Amino acid sequence: MKENAFEALTVETLPGRLGPVAAIAERIGADSNLWKVREVGDGNLNLVFIVEGEKGTVIVKQALPYVRLVGDSWPLPLKRSFFEYHALSRQAERAPGTVPAIHHFDEAQALIVMEFLSPHIILRRALIEGRRLPKIARDLGLFMAHTLFRGSDLSMKASERKADLALFADNVELCDITESLVFTDPYFEAPMNRHTPGLEALVKELRADRDLKVEAQRMKHQFATRAETLVHGDLHSGSVMVTDTETRVIDPEFAFYGPMAFDVGMLLANYWMSFFSQRGHESAGSREEMRAYLLGVIDETWNTFRNEFARLWHTERKGMLYDAALYEARNDGLASEQALNHVIHDIWTDMLGFAGVEMHRRILGLAHNADFEDIADEAQRASCEAAALKFGRHIIVNRNKIQSLAELDMLAQALD
C-alpha cells in the first residue's frame, strides 16, 4: 500500500495514528494511551472526533471519500478538506477570532486538527431551545462584511484574487452538490427529495409555478458564474457555534468564489426558518418573544453587514474595482456613495433570492433542518413548513420589488 494512503480514523485507531503528531501532543499531552476519543459528527459529510488528553482537548475533523449521510454509493472527494483548511486560514486573516484556530492539517489523510470550542453549542440547537443569543447578529454581520469584502476585488490585489479563485475553482464536487440539491432538485420530483405529507398540494403548486422555476434558475446562474468573493458556502445555523458571549463559524468546506449575497441569504434564510418553526416548539411555553427576537436578529444582522461593508468601502477599498482615482481622488465623494449604494442594493436583491431558495430546499429537498424535523406533530410541522415555503416563494419572485426589512417582518408575521 502507498505510504500515507488515506485511511479513515476510528475511535480505536486515532490515538495510535495521531500520537506522533507533535502539534497535538503539545496541546493535549504526549501520552496517547491516555487520550479519550469520542466521535461527535452530526453533519452530513464528515467524521468529527473530540480528543481529550491530560492537558487539553482538540477537534479532529476528517473527510471521507463519500457522503456520510448517504454512504459509499455517493462518492465525494477528500480534497474538500483542503478547501476547508484554506478557507479557515483566509477567514482567520480577514475576520480574526471568528473561526476555530487550526493546529495541524494533513492533506493525504484529509484531516484538520483544530481548536475545540467549548462550552459552545450549535446555533441551530440554541434557537430550537428558545435561547436568545445577544451577540449573534452583530458578530455574524461583521463576519460576513469582513470576509466578503476582503475576499473580493474591492480589496484584494487582482493577481492575488485571481490566483485564489483558481485554487478554489477545483472545489467542483461541493459546488455541484449546491447546484443540484439547492437550486434544482427541490423544484421537481428528484429521487432523493422528501417532504412532510401534509404539504402535497402546496408542493405540487410550487413545482408547477413557472415564475418560481425561472427565478430559481436565475439564482443558480448567479451562483455558478458570479465569482465575486470567497464565500463560506454553507453558512447555515448548523455552521455556527455559540455561547452568550462568543460566536464562531465552522465548516467552510463548500468555500469557493461566488456571489457576495450567497452567505448572507443562506444565513438569513435559516433565521426565517427558525422563526417559522417556533410555533412547533411551544410545549414548554410561548415562543412569542423568541419570534420577535428572531426578526430583530435578521434586521440587526443585515444592518450590521451593510454598515460595516460601507465602512470598509470608505476605508479599505484598495482593489481594482471602483477605483478611488475616479471618485474620492477627484473630490467626487458622491460618485463613490452612489456606486456603493448600487453594490449594496444588488447584494440585498440577490440575498432575497438565495434566501428563498435555501428555505425551499430545506423543506423539499434531501437535507432538512432540525428546526422543522424536531416538530413531532406532523400536521403542526406541515403548517410551519407551509408558511416558510410561501415566504420563500414570495421573496424569490418579488426580490426586485422588496424595499425594506420592515416589509419582510410584516410578511413573515402575516404568514406565520
Q: Minimal distance in Å, beta carbon 370 to ligand ADP?
A: 11
CA 218 to mean position of chain CA atoms: 20
Which one of ligand ADP, Mg ion, none is in contact with 59 (Cβ closer than 5 to 8 A by kind)? ligand ADP
Would you say 194 and 145 are in contact if contact means Cβ atoms under 8 Å apart? no
Positions in 88-147 near ligand ADP (CB under 6 A): 100, 114-117, 122
Which one of Mg ion, ligand ADP, none is in contact with 116 (Cβ closer than 5 to 8 A by kind)? ligand ADP
Q: Which of 320, 354, 302 is nearest to 137 (CA)?
A: 302
Q: Minimal distance in Å, beta carbon 46 to Mg ion?
A: 6
User: Which residue in the set 251, 263, 308, 371 belongs to the binding site for Mg ion (CB under 5 A)?
Assistant: 251
* Position of minimal CB gap to ligand ADP: 43
The angle subtended at Cα 219 by Cα 230 and Cα 274, nearest 5°, is: 80
Report H helices in 316-365.
Answer: 333-364
CB atoms within 10 A of CB 204: 11
Q: Minimal distance in Å, beta carbon 39 to ligand ADP?
A: 9
Q: Which long-range contacts (CB under 8 A, 24 or more apart) does 39-45 make?
A: 39/10, 39/11, 41/68, 42/122, 43/68, 43/238, 43/251, 44/68, 44/69, 44/367, 45/69, 45/76, 45/80, 45/253
Smaller CB distance to Mg ion: residue 185 or 253? 253
Positions in 22-41 near ligand ADP (CB under 6 A): 40-41
Smaller CB distance to ligand ADP: residue 58 or 295? 58
**Is residue 399 involved in binding ligand ADP (CB under 6 A)?**
no
Residues 6 or more apart whose CB falls under 8 angstroms from that of 95 comprise 142, 143, 146, 147, 150
Q: Minimal distance in Å, beta carbon 249 to ligand ADP?
A: 10
**Is residue 48 involved in binding ligand ADP (CB under 6 A)?**
yes
**Is residue 251 involved in binding ligand ADP (CB under 6 A)?**
yes
Which one of ligand ADP, Mg ion, none is in contact with 177 (Cβ closer than 5 to 8 A by kind)? none
Smaller CB distance to ligand ADP: residue 97 or 333? 97
Which range, of 42-50, 156-164, 259-267, 357-365, touches Mg ion by CB under 5 A?
42-50
* Spatial separation of the C-alpha atoms in residues 117 and 111, rounded to whole Å: 17
Residues 6 or more apart whose CB falls under 8 angstroms from that of 103 comprise 23, 24, 27, 58, 113, 114, 115
Q: Minimal distance in Å, beta carbon 253 to ligand ADP?
A: 6
* Spatial separation of the C-alpha atoms in residues 356 and 182, rounded to whole Å: 11
Strand-pairing partners, residue 60, are 49, 113
Q: Which of 281, 300, 308 is nearest to 409 (CA)?
A: 300
Q: Which of 278, 347, 279 is nearest to 309 (CA)?
A: 347
Q: Could you tell me if residue 116 is left (phi over 0), alpha (psi between -120 and 50 degrees) or otherwise beta?
A: beta
Smaller CB distance to ligand ADP: residue 114 or 290? 114
Which one of ligand ADP, Mg ion, none is in contact with 351 (Cβ closer than 5 to 8 A by kind)? none
Query: What is each CA distance from 411 to 179, 210, 214, 276, in whole angstroms?
Result: 28, 22, 22, 12
Interaction mask 55-74, ligand ADP, x per CB under 6 A: ----x-x-------------
Would you say 100 and 86 are in contact if contact means Cβ atoms under 8 Å apart? no
Interaction mask 160-189, ligand ADP, x per CB under 6 A: ------------------------------
Which range, of 142-150, 186-194, 205-213, 247-255, touches ligand ADP by CB under 6 A?
247-255
Q: Minimal distance in Å, beta carbon 69 to Mg ion?
A: 10
Residue 316's SS3 state is coil
Q: How many residues contact Mg ion, by CB under 5 A?
A: 5
* Spatial separation of the C-alpha atoms in residues 227 and 229, rounded to whole Å: 6
Q: Minimal distance in Å, beta carbon 200 to ligand ADP?
A: 30
Interaction mask 220-249, Mg ion, x per CB under 5 A: ------------------x-----------
Residues that bind ligand ADP (CB under 6 A): 40-46, 48, 59, 61, 100, 114-117, 122, 238-239, 250-251, 253
Residues that bind Mg ion (CB under 5 A): 43, 45, 238, 251, 253
